[in-house]
Amino acid sequence: MRMASEPRPNDIEAPAVRRATGSGRSLAATMPRLILEARRVAATVIHGLHGRRRAGPGENFWQYRRFTSGEPAQRVDWRRSARDDHLYVREQEWEASHTVWIWPDRSPSMVFASSRVTDSKLERALLVAFALAEVLVQGGERVGIPGLLRPTANRGVIEKMAEAILHDADERASLPPSFAPSPLSEIVMLSDLWSPIGEVHRAIAQLAAAGSHGHVVQIVDPAEETFPYSGRIEFVEPEGAGAITTGRAETWRADYEARVARHRAEIRIETDRLGWTFAVHRTDRPGSELLLVLHSRMGAGPLGTGINRWHALAQPGRVA
């Protein structure tokens, strides 16, 4: 199923239709605002990065801790220990990096924005992708875009992502390209997911085939959730499927809501089967809300899933 664009009964919604068909404001003009907003949103959760810091091999000092019986004597920091009556060990911060692949759907249907919101689905997907990348890189992780940007830990990751997106001349697919992420990597899909359910299932299953963990987020406009239409309406599909006109749009509402619920339930069944997470985000909600959800899910579970699980598995003697 693909969602139709905003209807235009008498050109009231013409601006939304123009955006959905690619004749609205360009992404290049919008990008500076998205970058600034992404940095602001990322700043709201940067403090949460400290929860992922842990002792291990690395060059940066983390903390002193008490020496425990049975440890090799050469681990004692004698200069620090000379300050009082206890022996101390100098611990370094663990620095192994983790790769997170972020896929922001940039297909034509994502350009849609109803009159009820200020951001299109595309703008919201890019905003969250940039902010999440900033948070992850600040925490020592590497971030890449499948088929577009190799994993990087560069502090200018937002600018690198924006440049790669603006210079991408390939057809903008709705789902990630086929590639083989490592079992210890993590994947974040940001899409409206209005592709046929079989295509959605295949894409998720292929990405999870090597054992990588992932998070699927369906980004929707509030009009796509509530179907607030009545009377004679023309629906225009922005990805080449044509248009359809109905004389009494309100009679479609119940069937439409049932179909959306069924489509969404089938996605959730697949993500649950693979141990992935699934969330729905409306563009009339703050982008920071979704970022916080993703950030918390990437560190959940008894030994952690995603980033924290990878850290646990990488430590000698730890078994998941």
The SS3 of residue 21 is: coil
Instruction: Let me know whether 218 and 71 are in one domain.
Output: no
Instruction: Let me know whether 245 and 298 are in one domain.
Output: yes
How far are the Cα atoms of 65, 72, 295 from residue 90, in angstroms, in the given order? 7, 13, 30
Instruction: Let me know whether 164 and 228 are in one domain.
Output: yes
319 assigned to some structural domain: no
Residue type, 65: R
258-309 residue pLDDT tens: 999 999 999 999 999 999 999 999 999 999 999 999 988 886 544 444 455 5
Q: What is the DSSP letter of 176?
A: P
Tokens of 147: 């088929």
Residue carrying the six token digits 């999440």: 132
Tokens of 95: 């620095």
Calpha distance 16→8 (Å, rounded): 9
pLDDT for 27: 82
Q: Are 80 and 90 in contact (CB under 8 A)?
A: yes
pLDDT for 180: 85
What residues pair up with 153 in beta bridges, in sequence order? none
pLDDT for 91: 65
Task: Please name which of 294, 306, 293, 307 lies closest in space to residue 54, comparing C-alpha atoms.
Answer: 307
- Picking from 92, 112, 142, the residue at the C-terminal end of a domain is 92
pLDDT for 317: 44
Instruction: Let me know whether 81 and 222 are in one domain.
Output: no
Within 8 A by CB and 6+ apart from 163, the residues are none
pLDDT for 170: 82
Q: What backbone phi and psi angles, to 5 degrees, belong to 134?
A: -60, -45
What residues pair up with 101 in beta bridges, in sequence order? 144, 187
pLDDT for 88: 81
pLDDT for 97: 59
Residue carrying the six token digits 């235009």: 8
Q: What backbone phi and psi angles, to 5 degrees, belong to 32?
A: -60, -40
196 assigned to some structural domain: yes
- Total number of domains constituting the chain: 2
CA angle 255, 191, 271 (to 5 degrees): 80
pLDDT for 2: 44
CA quadruple 175, 181, 185, 188: dihedral, nearest 10 = 0
Calpha distance 222→235 (Å, rounded): 16
73-109 residue pLDDT tens: 887 888 888 888 888 877 654 445 589 999 999 999 9
Instruction: Let me know whether 65 and 194 are in one domain.
Output: no
Q: What backbone phi and psi angles, to 5 degrees, belong to 33?
A: -65, -40
Instruction: Let me know whether 87 and 106 are in one domain.
Output: no
- Give the length of the chain: 320
Q: Which residues of the chain have pLDDT under 70?
A: 1-25, 47-64, 91-97, 239-242, 299-320
3 assigned to some structural domain: no
6 assigned to some structural domain: no
2 assigned to some structural domain: no
30 assigned to some structural domain: yes
Instruction: Let me know whether 67 and 188 are in one domain.
Output: no
Instruction: Let me know whether 169 and 196 are in one domain.
Output: yes
Calpha distance 56→92 (Å, rounded): 6
Instruction: Let me know whether 80 and 114 are in one domain.
Output: no
pTM for the full predicted model = 0.74
* Full residue range of the structural domain in which residue 254 is found: 14-54+96-314
7 assigned to some structural domain: no
Instruction: Let me know whether 20 and 154 are in one domain.
Output: yes
Residue carrying the six token digits 């086929």: 178
Checking 76-83 for CB contacts under 8 A at 24+ apart, the result is: none
pLDDT for 299: 61
Instruction: Let me know whether 47 and 136 are in one domain.
Output: yes
pLDDT for 117: 92
4 assigned to some structural domain: no
Tokens of 193: 């997911």
Instruction: Let me know whether 127 and 155 are in one domain.
Output: yes
Ramachandran class of 271: left when φ > 0, alpha when ψ lies in -120 to 50, beta otherwise: alpha
pLDDT for 275: 93
pLDDT for 307: 53
Output the DSSP codes for 185-210: -EEEEEE---S-HHHHHHHHHHHHTT
Q: Regarding beta strands 99-104 and 142-145, do their DSSP bridges make them parallel or antiparallel, or are they unpaired?
A: parallel
